[in-house]
Structure 1
Amino acid sequence: MDSLNTLSELKVGDKQYHYYSLKKAAETLGDLTRLPFTLKVLLENQLRFEDGETATKADIKALADWQKTASSTHEIGYRPARVLMQDFTGVPGVVDLASMRDAVKKLGADPEKVNPLTPVDLVIDHSVMVDHYGDASAFKDNVRIEMERNRERYEFLRWGQQAFDNFSVVPPGTGICHQVNLEYLGRAVFTREEDGKTFAYPDTLVGTDSHTTMINGLGVLGWGVGGIEAEAAMLGQPVSMLIPEVVGFKLNGKLNEGITATDLVLTVTQMLRSRGVVGKFVEFYGDGLDDLPLADRATIANMAPEYGATCGFFPLDGETLNYMRLSGRSDEQIALVEAYAKEQGLWREPGHEPVFSDTLELDMTEVVASLAGPKRPQDRVALTDIKQVFEKILDEQLGEVPDIEEGKWLSEGGQTAVDVEQSYGKDAGYSELEGETFRLDHGDVVIAAITSCTNTSNPSVMLAAGLVARKAREKGLRSKPWVKTSLAPGSKVVTEYLTSAGVQEDLNALGFNLVGYGCTTCIGNSGPLPDPVEAAINERDLTVASVLSGNRNFEGRVHPNVRTNWLASPPLVVAYALAGTVRTDLSKEPLGKDTEGNDVFLKDIWPTQAEIATAVEQVRTDMYRKEYAEVFNGDETWQAIEVPEAEVYEWKDSTYIQHPPFFEGMGREPEPIKDVENARVLAMLGDSVTTDHISPAGAIKPDSPAGRYLKEHGVEVKDFNSYGSRRGNHEVMMRGTFANVRIRNEMLDDVEGGETRHVPSGEQMAIYDAAMKYAEDKTPLVVVAGKEYGTGSSRDWAAKGTLLLGVRAVIAESYERIHRSNLIGMGVVPLQFPKGESRQSLGLTGDEEVSISGLNDLSAGGKVKVTFKGKKGEQQVEALCRIDTDNELEYYRHGGILQYVLRGML
Structure 2
Amino acid sequence: MKSYKDTFPWHDQVMTYWNIEQFASDHGTTVTKLPYTIRILLEMVLRHDANNQQAALNLLNWDQNHKADVPFKAQRVLLQDFTGVPALVDIAAMRDKVQALKGNGAVIDPEVPVHLIIDHSVQVNFSGSTAAFSKNQRREFQINQERYQFLKWAQQAFDNLTIIPPDNGIIHQVNLEHIAQVIMTQTNHSETLVYPDTVVGTDSHTTMTNGLGVLGWGVGGIEAEASMLGEITYYPIPEVIGVYLKGQLPDGSTATDLALTVTQRLRQENVVGKFIEFFGDGLRHLPVADRATIANMAPEYGATCGYFPIDQQTIDYLTLTGREQTQIDLVAAYAQQNHLWDTGDLTQQYSQVLTIDLSQIGASLAGPKRPQDLVPLKQLKQQFKTEPHDTLTVETKQGKQRLKYGAIGIAAITSCTNTSNPALMITAGLLARNAVKAGLTVPDYVKTSLAPGSRAVTDYLAKAGLTPYLDQLGFQLVGYGCTTCIGNSGDLKPELIQALQTSTFPMAGILSGNRNFEGRVNPLIKDTYLASPPLVIAFALAGTLAIDLTQEPIGTNQQQQPIYLRDIWPTPTEISLLVKQVMKPAIFQKNYAHILQGNQLWQQLKIAPTKTFPWQKDSTYIAAPPFFDHLNSDTATQGTSDMLTNLRVLAKLGDSITTDHISPAGFIGQQTAAGRYLLAKGVQPSEFNSYGSRRGNHEVMIRGTLANIRIKNQLVPGKEGGYTKYWPTGEVLDIYDAAQQYQQLPPQQCNGLVILAGKDYGMGSSRDWAAKGVKLLGVKAVIAKSFERIHRSNLVMMGVLPLEFMPDEDATTLGLTGRESFQITLDNAHHLAHVIATDTFESQSSKAFNTRIRFDTPSDATYYENDGILPMIIRQTCHL
Q: TM-score, normalised by structure 2?
A: 0.97
Matched letter for residue 743 of structure 1: I
Kept in 2, the 8 Å contact 1:259–1:369? The answer is: yes
Does residue 33 of structure 1 match 2:32? yes
Aligned ranges 1:680-699 → 2 under 5 Å: 680-699=648-667
* Partner Cα distance (1:120, 1:648) in 2: 19
* Partner Cα distance (1:832, 1:289) in 2: 39
2:690 corresponding residue in structure 1: 722
* Partner Cα distance (1:387, 1:900) in 2: 54
Aligned length: 865
* Partner Cα distance (1:11, 1:359) in 2: 37
Does residue 184 of structure 1 match 2:154? no
* Residue 240 (structure 2) aligned to one of 226, 246, 253: 246
1:43 corresponding residue in structure 2: 42
Kept in 2, the 8 Å contact 1:677–1:850? The answer is: yes
1:869 corresponding residue in structure 2: 838
2:436 corresponding residue in structure 1: 473
Alpha-carbon offset, residue 565 of structure 1: 0.4
Does residue 6 of structure 1 match 2:30? no
Alpha-carbon offset, residue 206 of structure 1: 0.5
Kept in 2, the 8 Å contact 1:125–1:172? The answer is: yes
Does residue 895 of structure 1 match 2:867? yes
1:357 corresponding residue in structure 2: 351
Q: Do the aligned partners of residues 441 and 534 (structure 1) sit closer, same or farther apart at CA in structure 2, a change above 3 Å counting? A: farther
Runs of 5+ consecutive residues of structure 2 not aligned to the other structure: none
What secondary structure, in the 3-state scheme, does the structure 1 residue paired with 2:61 have? helix
Kept in 1, the 8 Å contact 2:664–2:769? The answer is: no
Alpha-carbon offset, residue 784 of structure 1: 0.3
Alpha-carbon offset, residue 351 of structure 1: 3.4
* Partner Cα distance (1:813, 1:26) in 2: 39
What secondary structure, in the 3-state scheme, does the structure 2 residue paired with 1:105 have? helix
Q: Do the aligned partners of residues 196 and 434 (structure 1) sit closer, same or farther apart at CA in structure 2, a change above 3 Å counting? A: farther
1:423 corresponding residue in structure 2: none
Kept in 2, the 8 Å contact 1:440–1:482? The answer is: no
* Partner Cα distance (1:758, 1:668) in 2: 33
* Partner Cα distance (2:500, 2:71) in 1: 51
1:413 corresponding residue in structure 2: none
Aligned ranges 1:48-59 → 2 under 5 Å: 48-50=47-49, 52=51, 56-59=52-55
Kept in 2, the 8 Å contact 1:76–1:242? The answer is: yes
Does residue 633 of structure 1 match 2:597? yes
Kept in 2, the 8 Å contact 1:374–1:553? The answer is: yes
* Partner Cα distance (1:118, 1:195) in 2: 19
Matched letter for residue 696 of structure 2: G
2:18 corresponding residue in structure 1: 20
Matched letter for residue 726 of structure 1: R
Question: CA-to-partner distance for each residue in 1:195-241, whole Å, 9 max, x for gaps?
Answer: 33221100001000000000000000000001000100110101111
Kept in 2, the 8 Å contact 1:446–1:484? The answer is: yes
Runs of 5+ consecutive residues of structure 1 not aligned to the other structure: 395-399, 406-428
* Residue 743 (structure 1) aligned to one of 694, 711, 719: 711
Aligned ranges 1:496-511 → 2 under 5 Å: 496-511=459-474
Aligned ranges 1:126-525 → 2 under 5 Å: 126-392=120-386, 394=387, 400-402=388-390, 430-434=393-397, 436-525=399-488
1:710 corresponding residue in structure 2: 678
1:799 corresponding residue in structure 2: 771
Aligned ranges 1:429-828 → 2 under 5 Å: 430-434=393-397, 436-617=399-580, 618-652=582-616, 653-666=618-631, 667-673=635-641, 675-778=643-746, 779=750, 780-828=752-800
* Partner Cα distance (2:216, 2:62) in 1: 20
* Partner Cα distance (1:90, 1:201) in 2: 27
1:410 corresponding residue in structure 2: none
* Partner Cα distance (2:660, 2:2) in 1: 46
* Partner Cα distance (1:246, 1:563) in 2: 37
2:89 corresponding residue in structure 1: 95
1:422 corresponding residue in structure 2: none
* Partner Cα distance (1:124, 1:682) in 2: 35
Alpha-carbon offset, residue 885 of structure 1: 1.6
Q: Do the aligned partners of residues 731 and 11 (structure 1) sit closer, same or farther apart at CA in structure 2, a change above 3 Å counting? A: same
Question: CA-to-partner distance for each residue in 1:221-269, whole Å, 9 max, x for gaps?
Answer: 0000010001001101011111111000010000111000000000000
Kept in 1, the 8 Å contact 2:389–2:405? The answer is: no
* Partner Cα distance (1:578, 1:549) in 2: 15
What secondary structure, in the 3-state scheme, does the structure 2 residue paired with 1:887 have? helix
Alpha-carbon offset, residue 330 of structure 1: 0.8
Alpha-carbon offset, residue 796 of structure 1: 0.3
Kept in 2, the 8 Å contact 1:440–1:533? The answer is: no
* Partner Cα distance (1:460, 1:538) in 2: 40
* Partner Cα distance (1:769, 1:72) in 2: 43
Question: CA-to-partner distance for each residue in 1:538-574, whole Å, 9 max, x for gaps?
Answer: 4221111000000000011000111110000000000
Alpha-carbon offset, residue 483 of structure 1: 0.4
What secondary structure, in the 3-state scheme, does the structure 2 residue paired with 1:360 have? strand
* Partner Cα distance (1:326, 1:897) in 2: 41
* Partner Cα distance (1:431, 1:545) in 2: 15
What secondary structure, in the 3-state scheme, does the structure 2 residue paired with 1:33 have? helix
* Partner Cα distance (1:198, 1:837) in 2: 55
Q: Does 299-308 or 642-651 show the bigger shift?
A: 642-651
What secondary structure, in the 3-state scheme, does the structure 1 residue paired with 2:850 have? strand
Kept in 1, the 8 Å contact 2:103–2:877? The answer is: no
1:841 corresponding residue in structure 2: 813
Kept in 1, the 8 Å contact 2:32–2:347? The answer is: no
* Partner Cα distance (1:858, 1:246) in 2: 32
1:74 corresponding residue in structure 2: 68
What secondary structure, in the 3-state scheme, does the structure 1 residue paired with 2:110 have? coil
* Partner Cα distance (2:231, 2:828) in 1: 22
Question: CA-to-partner distance for each residue in 1:762-803, whole Å, 9 max, x for gaps?
Answer: 111110010001011142100000000000000000000000
Kept in 1, the 8 Å contact 2:640–2:864? The answer is: no
Question: CA-to-partner distance for each residue in 1:576-624, whole Å, 9 max, x for gaps?
Answer: 1100011111111111111211001111111111111122121111000
Matched letter for residue 559 of structure 1: N
Question: CA-to-partner distance for each residue in 1:283-336, whole Å, 9 max, x for gaps?
Answer: 000000011011000000000000000000000000000000000011100110
Kept in 2, the 8 Å contact 1:62–1:72? The answer is: no
Alpha-carbon offset, residue 435 of structure 1: 5.7
Kept in 2, the 8 Å contact 1:7–1:19? The answer is: yes
- Aligned-residue Cα RMSD (Å) equals 1.2
Alpha-carbon offset, residue 901 of structure 1: 1.6
Q: Do the aligned partners of residues 901 and 434 (structure 1) sit closer, same or farther apart at CA in structure 2, a change above 3 Å counting? A: farther
Alpha-carbon offset, residue 672 of structure 1: 5.0
Alpha-carbon offset, residue 51 of structure 1: 5.5
Q: Does 785-794 or 21-30 show the bigger shift?
A: 21-30
Q: Does 457-466 or 771-780 show the bigger shift?
A: 771-780
Kept in 2, the 8 Å contact 1:4–1:28? The answer is: no
Alpha-carbon offset, residue 535 of structure 1: 2.8
* Partner Cα distance (1:892, 1:749) in 2: 33
What secondary structure, in the 3-state scheme, does the structure 2 residue paired with 1:440 have? strand
* Partner Cα distance (2:637, 2:33) in 1: 46
Matched letter for residue 895 of structure 1: D
Q: Does 537-546 or 700-709 show the bigger shift?
A: 537-546
Kept in 2, the 8 Å contact 1:436–1:481? The answer is: no
